[in-house]
Structure 1
């Protein structure tokens, strides 16, 4: 391959292995704003402008919205579409396609794909790849939204900057064959833009106008701004707040935490310490009820319909032994006088040079 002259190089984001990683790494230099605010990575100015503009419109919408002529049905519709979109992210992109914590028939996969399109996020391929890398190299430079770089970076800043070379390197090593071989995902990849525009913005906006005579302005503000921006932040909070604040009853050595607030707004995704220890559990939590885990409720309904099966869970004994050996002592189990301190063979302590483990632990001083 003929080397590209330095002056002709253009710093581009990785897209399906098209970027030369050596050139990408060599050109990876931190940007600064007015020479005052310095960053560790090159900035994506197009994303910065888009995200900033979206939030400026959001705040303007709060000011300009016609509250006097508000139609209650429109708000109910916004919560409904927000919940459907959330299920596409939590039950679809996350628990099904990323972690394979259960199996689903073609009908359910198609429904979840449409729900995910309603959320208006990245393609399923990109979402799954980034999340698998996140789990395998959590809180390292290979983590797309490494929370050790601060709340803002983990929440939204990582979308405004080019990925660290380690993220791309490790992302290329992730096995994505199962995702690429799924006809539903193939359809989503092929028609990503039309699906996103149609299901996230156009249809949700049209329905209030034609079914209960909502104004176009109010419908656009509620669906394309209020609901969309809110759902983005609900998803982002799992990467930020749930990696920084909360208890660690299952493994005190890692950043992911049990965050009740995130669990409420993210439909059960805030029980994050548990999830990073047992990522294959379809519940993404140890909870036995649905009060703070609506995603699990829907998955159980689909299982009863026969649309979902092979719902994976760790044994109660494994959970107990993991709590006792690695937890921070905040789990209610300590009130049950459980004192089995056996070594947990099912959850081996990873070696420092072993990158094959699902989780790279962030060891903290004890």
Structure 2
């Protein structure tokens, strides 16, 4: 194995670290094998990383690195903004109550969807065949993984890299979920992390749990979100031909993968009623997947553990981990947003991690970013609670 490089902090004097919202990142915890000079431009920042010693890694490029500016990582990896900027935005928002303009088209569409979903739930419980129930579960799992493993962990955070066949697969199963195209989804999510709980956060919890859950989709975007979102660099997303294909053909893709195929397959393969198939495998399943994803924005900022950062609004929640196939470790994720695992959980509490690891075993996934154990412990000690972390892990396994 070629040698890599161990990194240490090289602080510049006169700049207090606490004014930077970097306590939630702990850069030194990420495996240096995932960072290379080709994707880390040099930008000015109060401190840098310098090589300290050699260790074993699977990346030969790292040994050639001499100095990398941390701001490049903050910019490229889409992490939180300066804490002072967030405070200033929060103070400004107090002066002007957000003007809520309801998008009535969305309101009526969601009402119709939920009526259809309730019909589908009744049919799923009392009328549908067992094969249809299994089909609904499979569709929910695949669609959710298209969001969590694709739009979220791969494209929004760049927490791992995927080869072309894997990217195509993730794009297609993402189309099952019908939660806007991946470019738009990733843009909104980068805003959420960079300006958490401000008016530039698409689903800020400061505007209430209903707003964070689904209300943000029923009103026009806040002007601050439009202004700040326009500043984000999305060139990496627009440069991906897989994402551009989805964006240009989004309605046909979601029409086929979210509604037509889910309805057709039960009818064709095990003789399910077309009516039952549509209301269960299409409408109910689609609505359920939406709420499972939305719970990350609401429930996972409300009820749960905070072992990694007590000052953040995000929490780790068991039920959202199950419903959203591994996204419930939200306190961990907001603390270490570049970790492809998004939590310390595995197995049924993190099916998305299983998918990514399977892709790695098949050679379709590489450069998975993780956080070192010693960094997690240091973060818990300084800003969270190690005892709470241990208790949570023991309880969840």
- 1:25 is matched with which residue? none
Q: Kindly tell me: are residues 123 and 215 of structure 1, through their superposed partners in 2, closer, same or farther at Cα, counting changes over 3 Å?
A: same
| 1:307 paired to 2:334 | no
The answer to which of 234-243 and 50-59 deviates more is 50-59
| 1:59 paired to 2:118 | yes
Q: What is the alpha-carbon distance in structure 1 between the residues aligned to residue 192 and residue 124 of structure 2?
A: 42
| 1:171 paired to 2:259 | no
| 1:319 paired to 2:319 | no
* Per-residue deviation, 1:121: 1.2
* Per-residue deviation, 1:59: 2.3
* Per-residue deviation, 1:315: 1.3
- Name the SS of the counterpart of 1:206 in structure 2: helix
Q: Kindly tell me: are residues 145 and 226 of structure 1, through their superposed partners in 2, closer, same or farther at Cα, counting changes over 3 Å?
A: same
Q: Kindly tell me: are residues 47 and 323 of structure 1, through their superposed partners in 2, closer, same or farther at Cα, counting changes over 3 Å?
A: same
Q: Kindly tell me: are residues 66 and 165 of structure 1, through their superposed partners in 2, closer, same or farther at Cα, counting changes over 3 Å?
A: closer
Is the Cα contact below 8 Å between 2:203 and 2:216 reproduced in 1? yes
- 2:320 is matched with which residue? 262
- Name the SS of the counterpart of 1:331 in structure 2: helix
* Per-residue deviation, 1:160: 0.3
**1:42-63 CA-partner distances (Å, limit 9, x unpaired):** 1111111111121122224445
* Per-residue deviation, 1:266: 0.5
**Residue among 47, 54, 57 paired with 2:106:** 47
**1:187-215 CA-partner distances (Å, limit 9, x unpaired):** 00110000010011001110010111111
- Name the SS of the counterpart of 1:273 in structure 2: helix
Structure having the higher helix fraction is 2
**Residue among 142, 146, 151 paired with 1:93:** 151
- 2:343 is matched with which residue? 285
| 1:188 paired to 2:237 | no
- 2:182 is matched with which residue? 124
* Per-residue deviation, 1:148: 1.5
Q: What is the alpha-carbon distance in structure 2 between the residues aligned to residue 68 and residue 329 of structure 1?
A: 46
Q: What is the alpha-carbon distance in structure 2 between the residues aligned to residue 140 and residue 264 of structure 1?
A: 28
Q: What is the alpha-carbon distance in structure 2 between the residues aligned to residue 197 and residue 286 of structure 1?
A: 36
Is the Cα contact below 8 Å between 1:123 and 1:192 reproduced in 2? yes
Q: What is the alpha-carbon distance in structure 1 between the residues aligned to residue 341 and residue 130 of structure 2?
A: 33
* Per-residue deviation, 1:40: 3.8
Is the Cα contact below 8 Å between 1:247 and 1:330 reproduced in 2? no
- 1:11 is matched with which residue? none
Superposition TM-score, scaled by structure 2 size? 0.72
Q: What is the alpha-carbon distance in structure 2 between the residues aligned to residue 205 and residue 102 of structure 1?
A: 33
Unaligned ranges ≥5, structure 1: 1-37, 336-366
- Name the SS of the counterpart of 1:173 in structure 2: coil
Q: What is the alpha-carbon distance in structure 1 between the residues aligned to residue 115 and residue 273 of structure 2?
A: 22
- 2:214 is matched with which residue? 156
CA RMSD, 1 decimal: 1.7
Structure having the higher strand fraction is 2
Is the Cα contact below 8 Å between 1:99 and 1:280 reproduced in 2? yes
Is the Cα contact below 8 Å between 1:247 and 1:328 reproduced in 2? no
**1:74-123 CA-partner distances (Å, limit 9, x unpaired):** 11111111111011000000000000000000000000000100111111
Superposition map of 1:136-155 within 5 A: 136-155=194-213
- 1:275 is matched with which residue? 333
* Per-residue deviation, 1:255: 0.2
Q: What is the alpha-carbon distance in structure 2 between the residues aligned to residue 67 and residue 297 of structure 1?
A: 29
Superposition map of 1:321-336 within 5 A: 321-328=378-385, 330-333=387-390
For these two proteins, the number of residue pairs brought into alignment is 296
Is the Cα contact below 8 Å between 1:155 and 1:240 reproduced in 2? yes
Q: What is the alpha-carbon distance in structure 2 between the residues aligned to residue 330 and residue 172 of structure 1?
A: 41
Q: What is the alpha-carbon distance in structure 2 between the residues aligned to residue 217 and residue 41 of structure 1?
A: 38
